[in-house]
Amino acid sequence: MGGIDNDHSSSGISSENAKEGTTTKDPKLEFSEDEEDLIARMFRLVGERWSLIAGRIPGRTAEEIEKYWTSKYSSSND
């Protein structure tokens, strides 16, 4: 019976992992509405100069902003 308990508890862990996996997006790619607005405005001004845009948003890296932008706009273009 101990094995059944282990299976049950591991399925709880699996459901937590599945819950995280359902978003399929990096938690760091969650941006506030203000950040999204600023990224869009900066993108119109400077294009794909991610480091320049990141310099205007404290705590964000150029890589995070580029991933956010491509994930948001590549999926809507398909």
Q: What is the mean pLDDT of each run of 10 residues along the chain (78 residues)?
A: 47 41 56 95 96 96 95 68
> Has residue 5 been placed in a domain?
no
Closest CA to 48 of 63, 36, 33, 35: 63
Reported residue count of the chain is 78
CB 63 within 8 A of CB 50: yes
> Has residue 6 been placed in a domain?
no
Count of structural domains, the chain: 1
pLDDT at 25: 55
What is the domain-level CATH number for residue 73?
1.10.10.60
Radius of gyration of the chain (CA): 19
> Has residue 48 been placed in a domain?
yes
> Has residue 49 been placed in a domain?
yes
> Has residue 71 been placed in a domain?
yes
Domain of 69 in residue numbering reads as 25-78
Proportion of the chain in helix, strand, coil states, percent, rounded to 5: 75, 0, 25
> Has residue 52 been placed in a domain?
yes
